[in-house]
Structure 1
Amino acid sequence: MPSTPAEGLSTDDAAVPTSEGTAEPIMLELVDEAGRTIGTAEKLSAHIAPGTLHRAFSVFLFDDTGRLLLQRRALGKYHSPGVWSNTCCGHPYPGEPPFVAAARRTGEELGVAPTLMREAGTVRYNHPDPASGLVEQEYNHLFVGIVGGALRPDPEEVEETAFVTPAELDALREKFTFSAWFMDVLDTARPVVREITGDAAGW
């Protein structure tokens, strides 16, 4: 099994540079079915079929009118490239609190700090990616919040963004491919989404 992903991957998909200028593989936190940490694994190896259950996070940010911020994943991503998905998702480093990882990664990908971000539960799923053959075996921590400023997306991570109402999301899903996990995480987060956006938003 290779210790680092292939050349040309985006920052989140490649090795992490160290202070000495060398590269170390990105490590994930492995968990049991109850979400308890049981070890670590290199990121790519954890996604090779059948996959190894690991900790992840997903973020849903909204503007002040209750529209959801979506991102289309960059075409250079090794997993699910070019598909639409929620505002941000990723993996905490071993020992990193999921809330901290979610805020960090949102800033790295979209150049914006979330405000009023709240926990919205967890969801466990198993989703193969037909295009890459990789598998998402994840124990996913969900967070909902408000966009805290103007977006500055990293083009290596994000192909494009869109703010959508529920009706616009339905129309977009009829035309374009979304990440395999998108509806699982959105449906689980809906109670907190409604608290954040208000009933008038329609979520």
Structure 2
Amino acid sequence: MPITPANGGSAETAAPSAPSGSAEPIMLELVDEDGTTIGTAEKLSAHLAPGRLHRAFSVFLFDDRGRLLLQRRALGKYHSPGVWSNTCCGHPYPGEPPFVAAARRTGEELGVAPTLLREAGTVRYNHPDPASGLVEQEYNHLFAGLVRVAPRPDPEEIAEVAFVTPDELEKLRTEGPFSAWFMTVLDAARPAIRELTGTAAGW
């Protein structure tokens, strides 16, 4: 079965604690091993080797056929450009609940509001990016949900999107690079994904 592409556009939504201008640094929440906030750091500095443990989120959205919506990151991204990854991922602003951040960035990047979005656990990992030398030291909040409208991705964020079955995902993984964190977050979210999509979907 061929991978189903979707078309592009952009979207909206700002968080109350979002930076007010492009000149201001984007700040992330630093956390301890239990996920408790211990401070803040500028986004790029938090990713410089060896990395500083910070809060993040990852979203997995599925259509009514149980296919996962993937994105290929835009070539202009400073971190992991041009690689395939899960539906959406990012970092809450300091003080922003991860669920709110996940919904916000899904709208901003993909131009869609999930029909359903639920918590799917957390995972902590350390993944260096071999291409850039940056390091993902993250305490990641996972979310799984459903989408019933066509994505309208922001081309500054996303080069391409595709809905895939598990078999199509495996084929795609042999053809091109994926983000360093993709399989870690997917495996951690699988129990919630199977509950959401049903075992027949194969996840």
| Distance in structure 2 (CA, Å) of the matches to 1:80 and 1:196 | 29
For each residue in 1:132-155, what CA deviation from the matched residue of structure 2 results, as whole angstroms up to 9, or x when unmatched?
A: 110000000000000142211000
Q: Could you list the runs of 5+ residues in structure 2 that have no partner in the other structure?
A: 1-17
Change (3 A) 1:76 1:70: same
Q: Hey, what does 1:11 align to over in structure 2?
A: none
For each residue in 1:175-197, what CA deviation from the matched residue of structure 2 results, as whole angstroms up to 9, or x when unmatched?
A: 11000000000000001101111
SS in 1 for 2:35: coil
Alpha-carbon contact 2:19-2:26 (below 8 Å) kept: no
| Distance in structure 1 (CA, Å) of the matches to 2:54 and 2:22 | 26
1:37 is aligned to 2:30: no
**Deviation at 1:22?**
6.4
Q: Hey, what does 2:82 align to over in structure 1?
A: 82
| Distance in structure 1 (CA, Å) of the matches to 2:19 and 2:58 | 24
Q: Could you list the runs of 5+ residues in structure 1 that have no partner in the other structure?
A: 1-15
Mapping 1:30-109, distance limit 5 Å: 30-109=30-109
Normalized against structure 2, the TM-score is what?
Answer: 0.90
**Deviation at 1:23?**
2.1
1:155 is aligned to 2:151: no
| Distance in structure 2 (CA, Å) of the matches to 1:98 and 1:148 | 22
Q: Hey, what does 1:172 align to over in structure 2?
A: 172
Of 142-151 and 65-74, the range deviating more from structure 2:
142-151
Alpha-carbon contact 2:64-2:148 (below 8 Å) kept: no
For each residue in 1:24-82, what CA deviation from the matched residue of structure 2 results, as whole angstroms up to 9, or x when unmatched?
A: 10000000000000000000000000000000000000000000000000000000000
Over the matched positions of the two proteins, sequence identity in percent amounts to 84
| Distance in structure 1 (CA, Å) of the matches to 2:124 and 2:193 | 19
SS in 1 for 2:96: coil
Normalized against structure 1, the TM-score is what?
Answer: 0.90
| Distance in structure 1 (CA, Å) of the matches to 2:166 and 2:22 | 45
SS in 1 for 2:39: strand
Q: Hey, what does 1:10 align to over in structure 2?
A: none
Runs of 4+ in 1 over 2 A off after TM superposition: none
- Greater relative contact order (Cα 8 A, min sep 6): structure 1 or 2? 2
Partner letter of residue 40 of structure 1? T
Q: Cα RMSD over matched residues?
A: 1.1
